[in-house]
Amino acid sequence: MKPNYLLDSNKKPILVECEFETEDFFKQHSKKIIDCYNKNISKAEEINVYSVHYPPAVEELKDKFTKAMNDIFYSNSKKSYELECYAYIQTCKKYRSVMHCHALNKNNPKICSTFYSNMPEEGGEFCFLYEGEEVCIKPRVNTLYIFSSFLNHKPMPHKGEETRICINTDFFTSNKSIFKEFDHYW
């Protein structure tokens, strides 16, 4: 499937959506992710962060991430992305919905992505700021959402008994990533 692009008023990409098969990953890791989250969330909450580091996602999905990035951006054999993956768990009673961006993180990633499992029927949108307005999309399972680390965004709460698992990935590189389909870079 060809990537879908959400463009700004200048025809520059804000958000990229591409096919990203994750069902097998979540079948194997969902319980481990929730256990890791529950074990580490008290430390994370102390510093006002509601995601916990989850390195197995990098190990298992690095090739898929690389393919997705190389389908969208020009690749250079000397350029490679370093990845960090974090798990965010949300229930209808436990969530954190605060607008933020990753560009201000100490390591300053260039690009970020997110993908979800077990999307609730009501709520659970991915919201971001665009020209001062809040825009919300309903994420789909088996879809990777890629965006600049400067994009302010937040997860929305949901109703129902589902436990939503989200894997957030930060991509680090010393070079800017240039889109294949646009005269633009992140």
Task: Report pLDDT for 96.
Answer: 82
**Does 186 score more than 70 pLDDT?**
yes
**Does 77 score more than 70 pLDDT?**
no
Q: Return the CATH fold of 16-172.
A: Jelly Rolls (2.60.120)
Task: Report pLDDT for 119.
Answer: 87
Q: Which amino acid is at 101?
A: C
Confidence band of 153 (pLDDT split at 50, 70, 90): very high
Using CA atoms, how far apart are residues 86 and 24, in angstroms rounded to an integer? Answer: 18
Task: Report pLDDT for 24.
Answer: 94
Q: Mean pLDDT, to the nearest integer, of 117-139?
A: 92
Task: Report pLDDT for 167.
Answer: 95
64 vs 75, which has greater pLDDT?
64
The helix (H) or strand (E) run that includes residue 30 is helix 23-46
Task: Report pLDDT for 137.
Answer: 95
Apex 1 CA angle, 27 and 163, nearest 5: 30
Q: Give tens-digit pLDDT for 87-110.
A: 998 888 888 888 999 887 767 788
Confidence band of 161 (pLDDT split at 50, 70, 90): confident
Give Dmax (Cα) for the chain. 47
Q: Give tens-digit pLDDT for 131-140.
A: 889 999 999 9
pTM, two decimal places: 0.91
12 vs 40, which has greater pLDDT?
12
| Residues 65-69: contacts with CB under 8 Å, at least 24 apart | 65/113, 65/169, 65/171, 68/18, 68/20, 68/113, 68/144, 68/146, 69/111, 69/146, 69/171, 69/177
